[in-house]
Chains A and B, each alone.
Chain A
Amino acid sequence: MSTPVIAQPAAEPVVVKGGPTPAQRLTSFMPVIALVALLAALTIADPDFLTQKSLTAAIRTSAPLVVLAAGATLVVLCGGIDLSIAALASLSTVFFAMWLPDLGGLTTLAVIAAAAGIGAIQGIAHVVLRIPSFIVTLGGMSIFSAVALVISDAGPIRVVDRDATNWLTLYVAGYIPMAFFVAVVVVAVIALVLKLTPLQSYITATGYSESAARLAGTPVDRVKVGAFTVSGACAGLAAVMLVSRNFSGSPTMADNLLLPAVAAIVVGGTAITGGHGSIWRSLVGALVITLLRVGLPIVGVPSAYEQILYGAIIVAAVALTLDRSKVLTIK
């Protein structure tokens, strides 16, 4: 029963080559189709949208979301969920603002390392204490917010020295914002590392059937801790990007990115049940979500509908991508 399912991810890279049947192939292209359709719709609604300037602005805003979603995708691929990414990113912006005067140029690395460490702690709590991942990360979310509020005294901290984040505001080849370029590089590096090492198989095996993977000798626990670590590191990087845009660190800065990030993952087509999906899909998903975000005002929809749309999208996308053969009773 599970053999044909496992055959699917062998056909990666997903966006380029699809599953076995034409229907599945179409489904795996869905995020790209949605992206193109959205772009077309927005261009029809406002012909000025398809200009270099507004597209550059759009992908620049998408950068932190891409990074956040990419990291959390690994956890989802393992069959878990990381609900703490946004709170961890907020905490990291505070770290960045507080550490910058002392650490200078090393701050970026220090923040990413700290976030990765915090992610690893969550992963260890998850595998050692056997607490479901959403409870660990829900608890983490609440703890990180509290720590951020306490150390920042519940207010934004201005970043005066702008040199440390200046590089993120540059443009590659004159058009591509550095932040987005970095985000794509991060996605590419993670994807490449997964591809060139057994990690890809480990993660997929863990996601599809954890007990089978364990019996086959996959280091399931280490893979999961690794996924949480990368997720944490990505939250740290996203925080640096946010600071480079806002010139301050704040305990609630990234909090509203949780829903878009989860939406990006599921819209990309990564199954919430684990195993099926890829990090590239989340890149496309994040772009779709960003286009929706910047597009709604263009079409004249009040931004209040944005939340409703996220909610509907999450439920619909999960319903479409869920692997029903695996879960007999849905809790």
Chain B
Amino acid sequence: MTSPAEDVDVAAARPQPRRGVSLRDSGPPLALVVIFVAFSALSSDFRSIGNVQNIMDTAAVLAVVTCGITFVLMMGSIDLSAPGVMGAAAIAVALLVANNRNGNELGVIGILLAILLAAALGCVSGLALVLLKVPSFMTTLGVSAVGLGLATLMFNGVQPNITDGTLASWPVERLLGLSYLTWIAFACVLVGYLIQRYTRLGRYAFAIGGAEEVLALSGVKVAPYKVAVFTLAGAFYGLAGVMVTSQLSAGLVQAGKGYDFAAITAAVVGGTLLTGGRGGILHSAVGVLIVMVLTNGLVQVGVSPYWQGGVQGLIVVAAVAAAVLPQRRRNQVTK
């Protein structure tokens, strides 16, 4: 019925983003600048150097989580497992490095082991998706619960406080005015970008989101790449969990609470489509800054911090609605 119009539409819309600058790509950075300028005009506390440092430092953990979730969103899947995976990694690392609960003093190896545990949890999400054919929002909801359960088991009623020097230095030591955590986040964004741009995994993640059937028909075994993407995402959440532990100097089960939704918000605001095939790490990084600037700015102008989640909820609904607006007539079915 509408297919001729559709074809024209697709043909016209496709080449644009490849040429580099389009409204979709330049919109989020513009929004970031506008929001930043607006808050700077409204609040004198906001436009101080200290506050900008503060924004960058608080954005670090969210940036790392968003790096992971972006790959999953690029495939057109969704990942709600961040709270559980981060909780498990946060407790695991607190128990593996020097702490008050046991004699472990593994240092960097402990951090790597915690990230490995998180990657394994991500791998489970991917395997359940690929082998059992359970939709990703269900597998990751399940894995999140499993991660929280594991974290509660390891927590075992006594809070592990870390005494490890390296980990404790991350949030306080500064380099060029920014904390180590922020530099780790920068490194993650860079690594994420390199993976997205130059590895088969990153390219295929894009392609899976764009047209999985075509990719499968052209002889690519899609399943291993999907599992790999979820594993990679899990590893990023793990690192984020470790970072939260370093911030709090203690392992908490709730280390990742709310980060799943904040990360989805950031990715979507940055221009990553939930249907997959669009966006990327750099888009998401801009999205993270938008979310953090907005959160920080609203508090600076006197809005109760409890509204934070509500603002994120509104942004994500608005951003998704705006993203599907051009395709409204095309997809009649929304689940």
Report which A residues bind B (CB closer than 8 A).
Answer: 79-81, 125-127, 129-136, 138-143, 145-147, 149-150, 154, 210-211, 214, 259, 262, 266, 272, 274, 302, 304-315, 318-319, 322, 324, 327-331
Contact = CB atoms under 8 A, between A and B. Distances in A.
Interface string B294-306: 0000000000101
A149 B306 contact: yes
B128 interface: yes
Q: Which of A139, A150, A309, A327 has the most CB of B within 10 A?
A: A139
Interface of A is mostly: helix
B120 interface: no
Interface in B299-334: 304, 306-314, 316-317, 320-321, 324, 328, 331-334
Given A133-B335, A330-B129, A311 B144 contact: yes
A266 B75 CA distance: 25
Contacts of B290: none
Interface of B: 75-78, 84, 128-129, 132-139, 141-146, 148-150, 152-153, 212-213, 258, 261, 264, 274, 276, 304, 306-314, 316-317, 320-321, 324, 328, 331-335
A143 B331 contact: no
A80 B129 CA distance: 18
Contact of B128 (A147, A310, A319): A319
Nearest to A81: B137
Given A138-B261, A146-B313, A306-B149, A311 B335 contact: no
A125 B145 contact: no
A141 B142 contact: no
Contact of A305 (B149, B310, B320): B149
B90 to A, nearest CB: 15
A150 B304 contact: yes
A328 B311 CA distance: 36
A330 B133 contact: yes
Contacts, number: 158
Contact of B332 (A210, A302, A305, A318): A210
Given A146-B308, A308-B146, A322-B133, A130 B335 contact: no
Given A131-B324, A330-B134, A307 B309 contact: no
12 contacts: A81-B137, A129-B317, A130-B324, A131-B321, A132-B334, A143-B309, A149-B309, A311-B84, A318-B135, A319-B132, A329-B213, A330-B134
A171 B333 CA distance: 46
A247 to B, nearest CB: 24
Nearest to B77: A331
Given A304-B153, A330-B134, A315 B316 contact: no
Contact of A312 (B146, B258, B261, B306): B146
A315 B213 CA distance: 24
Contacts of B311: 146
A302 B133 contact: no
Nearest to B137: A134
Given A127-B334, A330-B129, 12 more contacts: A80-B335, A129-B324, A134-B78, A135-B274, A142-B309, A147-B310, A154-B306, A311-B143, A312-B146, A318-B138, A319-B128, A331-B136
A126 B84 CA distance: 28
Nearest to B130: A330
A314 B138 contact: yes
Contact of B309 (A146, A272, A302, A306): A146
Contact of B152 (A130, A211, A304): A304
Contacts of B136: 330-331
Contact of A139 (B77, B148, B316, B328): B316
Q: Which of B76, B129, B311, B317 has the most CB of A within 10 A?
A: B317
Contacts of A322: 133-135
Contacts of B213: 328-329
A324 B131 CA distance: 12
A311 B146 contact: yes
Contacts of B133: 319, 322, 324, 327, 330
B135 A330 contact: yes
B146 A307 contact: yes
Contacts of A210: 332-333, 335
A262 to B, nearest CB: 7
Nearest to B304: A150
Q: Which of A79, A306, A308 has the most CB of B within 10 A?
A: A308
Contacts of B261: 138, 141-142
